[in-house]
C-alpha cells in the first residue's frame, strides 16, 4: 500500500494515485477488462511501448515550464524507475521510458511532491496546453501568455466535460503574431491582441478553431479576430462540450474535431457552440494575470573564467542560439538537444547551470530543445563552455540543421521507420556538407516515424514521414517526402504537400538534391516556399523521381537507419487516442460510477460538474442498452437519437416529451443546484430502470438516496 509524505497534500491527487494503484491490482487480478484499464491508464500519462511489458510515462508540463527543483525530481524518478534519460517532446512534455506498470503509482507520488502531474498527458482528453517558449521575454509580444496557458490547463484538467472524449484535444497560445506555437494546427489556437476601448487597452485573443495534423492535416478556421480575455475559457468550454457530444466515437481516424467541422460546416458548428453557453460552468472567466510568477534572474555572482578554444564556434553559437530579451541587459539561450534526448547525468549539470546563472523558469521548446532565460552578458562564455562540454552547444537552434523528430520505431507502437537515427544522419550530413545552413531559419525539416505527425512533418518546408514500399517479395523502408509547409503569420499557415515516396536510405540524397537545386535556380531573396510555389509540385516530383527508382537498389536499402536486420513492417496497436469501451456490463458500471461522482460534486456545490456527470449517466446507459441490442452509434447525439428510435417509440421506456428533449436539458438550463439535483435524479432512475431491464440492480449510495428523496 502506498504512503504519502507531507509534501503531497492535495487530497485529489492522493485519491487519484491510490485509485491507480487499486485499478492496476484489479487489472492484474482479472477484475477489470483490458479496454477499460487501458483508457484509465492513458489519462494518467501511462502509454504502452513497442517493447512488451514496459511503459512510456509522459510527464505533463503546462506550456513547457520547468523549475530547477522539478527538473531534479524528474531526473531522480527517471534514474529510479526508467532508463536514466529525459525525452523532450513537440508538445513541451517530458517522456521517460521502460517503466514497470506496477511502479507507476509510486512514481506519480514522487513527482507530485514537486507539483508535477501525469494527469491527462495521454488519452482522449485535453492534452498539454502549449505556448511559445519565449513568452514573457518576447520583444514582440502584446503581453505574456504564460498565466493564460497555466490557468487554461488548471481549468480543464480533471474537468468532467473532457475526460472521455472521442479523441484528444489540443490548445496552444502563441506569444505574438509570429505564431511560434502554431495556432493554425490546433483544436484551439490563441494569439494575444490588444485593442483600445475608451482610451484604455483591452486584452484579448485571435482565436483559431479546428486545425490538426495527422494523416489528413487541416488548417484551423478563424472563430474570432478579437475575443475579450474573459470570454476565452467560456468559449473553449462550449467548444469542448460540442466536440464531446457530436464528435465521432467509433472510427478513430475520423474522431478529431476537424472532421466534425468538415462534416457539418463551420457555421453550423459555431451555432452548436453558442447553444452550449447556457450550461457553461462560468459565463465570464477573469484570468489572474500573475498566476505564473514573473521570472527573475539568479543573484549576481562572480562568473568562472573560461578559455574559448574555438572562437568561430562560440561566435556561431552567439549568433544563432542567443537572443536579447525585452528585459534590457538580459539574454535568453536556446539549447539544441539532438533527438530531444538528455541523459539524466547531463540534465543535472544543466539544472545546476540554470540555478546559478539563469532564471528558475526553463521552457521546453516545440522543436524538442530548451530555453534558459535571464542570463547576464558576462555569463555567456561560461554558459557556452558548460553546454559545449556536455555536447549541447551546437549552433543553429531552430535552423535547417535542427531537425524535429518523434521517437519512431525506437519505442512507439505506430512507428514504421526509425526517425531518430535518420535525423542524426541528416544533421551530421548537413553540418559536414552545408555548414552555412546553421544560419538558415527559412527551411525547417521535421520527421515523423509514421503519418500521424508527432514530429509535425506536415508543417515543415521539408517534411518526411515513415512509410514502406513493396518490392518483389521484400518490403523497403521508405520516406514520404512532403514539401511547402510552414507558418505564415498571425494564425495563418501552410500544409506540406506529398510529393514522392523514396527509400529511406536516400534521405541524405533527397536533401542534397533539394539544396543544390534551390541554390542553382532560386531567385535573389526568394524563400524556399516561394521557390516551391513558383516551380510547382510536379517540378519537385520530377526532380526527386530518380531517387525513387527501385531498379538500382543496394543491399543496404533493405535495412532501416540504426538497424542491421532486414526491414519488416511491425506496427502495433496505437494508444495515442485511447480506446472506446463497448462492453455492456462495463458501460453500466461506468454509468453507476458517474452517478456517484455527480452526487459527490453536487454535495460540494460543483453544479456544472454534477450536471455533466449526470449527462454521462444518460448517454452511457443508453449506449449499453443499444449495444445489447446490436445497435452501434458513432456519436453521443447519435446514441440519444438511436435510443429514442429503438427503446422509446415501442414503449419499452417512456420519457416526456421524448428522450432527446429530456437529455438535452443539459444545454437549456443554467447550472443551478436545483436543476443539477433534478437532472441527476432523472438520470439515476433511468439507470435503475435500464439495469432492471437487464435483470440487474444498482446500488444507491447515501448521497444519491437523499437526492432521490427530495426529487420524487
- Spatial distance between the Cα atoms of 543 and 138, rounded to a whole number of angstroms: 40
Provide the percentage of residues in the chain whose pLDDT is more than 70: 95
**Burial (CB count within 10 angstroms: exposed 0-12, middle 13-18, buried 19+), residue 1:** exposed
CB 346 within 8 A of CB 86: no
Global pTM reads 0.91
The CATH number of 584-710 is which of 1.10.3470, 1.10.287, 1.20.120, 2.40.160? 1.20.120
Per-chain mean pLDDT for the chain: 91
- Spatial distance between the Cα atoms of 190 and 176, rounded to a whole number of angstroms: 10
Neighbours of 296 (CB within 10 A): 11
Compare 582 and 695 and report the one with higher pLDDT.
695
CB within 8 A of 244, min separation 6: which ones? 161, 162, 165, 166, 636
Residue 374 phi, psi dihedral angles, 5° rounding: 60, 50
pLDDT on residue 582: 39
Q: State the span(s) of the chain assigned CATH 3.90.480.20.
A: 11-112
pLDDT on residue 162: 95
Cell of 386: 558548460
CATH topology assigned to domain 404-558:
Sulfite Reductase Hemoprotein; domain 1 (3.30.413)
- Tell whether the model's pLDDT for residue 581 goes beyond 50: no
Q: State the span(s) of the chain assigned CATH 3.30.413.10.
A: 138-279, 404-558
pLDDT on residue 562: 81
Provide the total of helices (H) and of strands (E) in the chain, helices listed first. 21, 22
Q: State the span(s) of the chain assigned CATH 3.90.480.10.
A: 311-390
Query: Cell numbers 555567456 correspond to what residue?
Result: 380
Superfamily classification of domain 138-279: Sulfite Reductase Hemoprotein, domain 1 (3.30.413.10)
**Is residue 7 very low, low, confident or very high in pLDDT (cuts 50, 70, 90)?**
very low
**Is residue 570 very low, low, confident or very high in pLDDT (cuts 50, 70, 90)?**
low
- Tell whether the model's pLDDT for residue 301 goes beyond 80: yes
pLDDT on residue 461: 97
- Spatial distance between the Cα atoms of 172 and 191, rounded to a whole number of angstroms: 9
Q: Closest by alpha carbon to 47, among 579, 703, 668?
A: 579
pLDDT on residue 391: 96
What average pLDDT score do residues 181-195 get?
97
What average pLDDT score do residues 149-173 get?
96
What average pLDDT score do residues 74-94 get?
97
- Spatial distance between the Cα atoms of 194 and 173, rounded to a whole number of angstroms: 15
- Spatial distance between the Cα atoms of 412 and 414, rounded to a whole number of angstroms: 5
pLDDT on residue 439: 97
**Is residue 9 very low, low, confident or very high in pLDDT (cuts 50, 70, 90)?**
low
- Tell whether the model's pLDDT for residue 676 goes beyond 60: yes
What angle do the packed helices 507-521 and 419-433 form, to 10 degrees? 40
CB 601 within 8 A of CB 615: no
Cell of 234: 467560456
Q: Closest by alpha carbon to 281, among 665, 611, 705, 688?
A: 611
Angle at CA of residue 106, ends 101 and 107, nearest 5°? 75
Compare 700 and 191 and report the one with higher pLDDT.
191
How much is the CA Rg of the chain, to the nearest whole Å? 26
Run of H or E residues at 370? strand 370-376
Compare 212 and 574 and report the one with higher pLDDT.
212
**CATH dotted code for 311-390:** 3.90.480.10
**Is residue 579 very low, low, confident or very high in pLDDT (cuts 50, 70, 90)?**
very low
Compare 597 and 415 and report the one with higher pLDDT.
597
**Is residue 380 very low, low, confident or very high in pLDDT (cuts 50, 70, 90)?**
very high
Bond preceding residue 375 cis, omega within 30 of 0: no
Compare 710 and 373 and report the one with higher pLDDT.
373
Q: Give tens-digit pLDDT for 480-530.
A: 999 999 999 999 999 999 999 999 999 999 999 999 999 999 999 999 999
Q: Give tens-digit pLDDT for 305-342.
A: 999 999 999 999 999 999 999 999 999 999 999 989 99
The CATH number of 11-112 is which of 3.30.230.30, 3.30.420.40, 3.30.300.30, 3.90.480.20? 3.90.480.20
CB within 8 A of 228, min separation 6: which ones? 202, 203, 204
Amino acid at each position: 500500500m502506498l504512503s504519502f509524505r507531507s509534501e503531497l497534500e492535495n487530497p485529489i491527487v492522493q485519491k487519484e494515485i491510490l485509485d491507480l494503484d487499486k485499478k492496476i491490482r484489479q487489472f492484474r487480478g482479472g477484475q477489470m477488462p483490458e479496454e477499460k484499464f487501458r483508457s484509465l491508464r492513458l489519462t494518467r500519462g501511462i502509454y504502452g511501448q513497442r517493447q512488451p511489458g514496459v511503459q512510456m510515462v509522459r510527464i505533463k508540463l503546462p506550456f513547457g515550464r520547468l523549475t530547477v527543483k522539478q527538473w531534479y525530481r524528474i531526473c531522480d524518478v527517471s534514474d529510479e524507475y526508467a532508463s536514466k534519460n529525459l525525452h523532450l517532446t513537440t508538445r513541451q512534455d517530458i517522456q521517460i521510458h521502460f517503466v514497470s506498470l506496477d511502479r507507476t503509482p509510486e512514481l506519480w507520488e514522487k513527482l507530485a511532491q514537486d507539483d508535477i502531474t501525469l494527469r491527462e498527458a495521454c488519452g482522449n482528453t485535453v492534452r498539454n496546453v502549449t505556448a511559445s517558449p519565449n513568452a514573457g521575454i518576447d520583444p514582440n509580444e502584446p503581453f505574456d501568455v504564460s498565466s493564460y496557458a497555466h490557468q487554461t490547463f488548471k481549468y480543464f484538467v480533471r474537468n468532467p466535460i473532457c475526460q472521455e472524449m472521442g479523441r484528444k484535444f489540443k490548445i496552444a497560445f502563441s506569444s505574438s503574431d509570429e505564431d511560434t506555437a502554431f495556432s493554425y494546427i490546433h483544436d484551439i489556437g490563441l494569439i494575444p491582441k490588444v485593442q483600445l476601448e475608451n482610451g484604455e487597452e483591452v486584452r484579448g485573443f485571435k482565436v483559431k478553431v479546428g486545425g490538426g495534423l495527422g494523416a489528413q492535416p487541416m488548417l484551423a478556421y478563424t472563430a474570432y479576430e478579437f475575443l475579450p480575455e474573459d470570454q476565452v475559457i467560456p468559449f473553449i468550454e462550449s467548444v469542448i462540450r460540442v466536440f464531446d457530444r457530436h464528435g465521432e466515437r467509433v472510427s478513430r481516424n475520423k474522431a478529431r474535431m476537424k472532421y466534425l467541422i468538415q462534416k457539418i460546416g463551420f457555421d453550423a458548428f459555431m451555432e452548436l457552440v453558442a447553444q452550449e453557453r447556457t450550461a457553461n460552468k462560468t459565463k465570464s472567466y477573469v484570468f489572474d494575470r500573475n498566476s505564473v510568477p514573473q521570472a527573475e534572474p539568479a543573484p549576481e555572482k562572480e562568473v568562472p573564467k573560461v578559455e574559448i578554444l574555438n572562437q568561430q564556434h562560440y561566435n556561431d553559437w552567439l549568433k544563432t542560439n542567443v537572443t536579447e530579451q525585452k528585459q534590457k541587459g538580459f539574454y535568453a539561450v536556446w539549447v539544441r538537444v539532438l533527438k530531444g534526448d538528455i541523459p539524466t547525468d547531463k540534465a543535472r549539470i544543466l539544472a545546476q547551470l540554470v540555478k546559478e546563472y539563469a532564471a528558475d523558469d526553463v521552457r521546453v521548446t516545440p522543436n524538442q530543445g530548451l530555453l534558459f532565460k535571464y542570463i547576464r552578458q558576462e555569463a555567456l562564455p561560461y554558459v557556452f563552455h558548460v553546454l559545449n562540454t556536455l555536447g549541447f552547444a551546437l549552433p543553429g537552434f531552430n535552423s535547417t540543421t535542427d531537425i524535429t523528430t518523434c521517437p519512431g520505431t525506437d519505442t512507439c507502437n505506430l512507428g514504421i521507420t526509425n526517425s531518430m537515427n535518420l535525423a542524426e544522419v541528416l544533421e551530421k550530413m548537413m553540418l559536414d556538407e552545408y555548414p552555412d545552413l546553421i544560419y538558415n531559419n527559412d527551411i525547417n525539416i521535421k520527421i515523423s516515424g509514421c503519418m500521424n505527425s508527432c514530429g509535425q512533418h506536415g508543417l515543415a518546408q521539408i517534411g518526411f514521414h515513415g512509410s514502406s514500399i513493396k518490392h518483389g517479395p521484400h518490403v523497403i523502408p521508405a520516406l514520404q517526402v512532403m514539401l511547402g509547409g510552414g507558418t505564415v503569420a498571425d494564425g495563418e499557415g501552410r500544409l506540406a504537400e506529398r510529393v514522392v515516396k523514396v527509400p529511406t536510405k536516400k534521405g541524405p540524397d533527397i536533401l542534397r538534391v533539394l539544396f543544390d537545386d534551390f541554390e542553382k535556380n532560386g531567385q535573389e531573396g526568394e524563400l524556399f516556399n516561394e521557390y516551391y510555389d513558383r516551380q510547382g509540385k510536379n517540378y519537385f516530383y520530377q526532380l526527386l523521381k530518380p531517387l525513387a527508382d527501385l531498379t538500382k537498389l543496394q543491399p543496404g536499402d533493405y535495412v532501416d537507419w540504426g538497424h542491421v536486420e532486414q526491414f519488416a513492417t511491425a506496427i502495433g496497436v496505437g494508444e495515442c487516442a485511447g480506446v472506446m469501451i463497448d462492453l455492456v456490463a462495463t458501460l453500466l458500471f461506468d454509468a453507476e460510477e458517474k452517478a456517484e461522482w455527480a452526487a459527490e460534486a453536487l454535495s460540494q456545490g460543483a453544479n456544472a460538474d454534477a450536471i455533466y456527470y449526470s449527462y454521462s449517466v444518460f448517454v452511457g446507459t443508453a449506449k449499453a442498452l443499444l449495444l445489447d441490442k446490436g445497435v452501434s452509434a458513432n456519436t453521443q447525439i447519435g446514441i440519444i437519437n438511436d435510443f429514442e428510435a429503438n427503446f422509446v417509440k415501442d414503449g419499452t421506456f417512456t420519457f416526456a416529451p421524448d428522450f432527446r428533449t429530456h437529455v438535452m436539458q443539459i444545454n437549456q438550463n443554467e447550472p443551478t443546484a436545483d436543476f443539477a439535483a433534478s437532472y441527476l435524479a432523472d438520470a439515476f432512475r433511468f439507470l435503475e430502470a435500464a439495469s432492471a431491464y437487464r435483470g440487474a440492480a444498482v446500488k444507491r449510495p447515501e448521497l444519491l438516496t437523499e437526492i432521490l428523496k427530495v426529487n420524487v
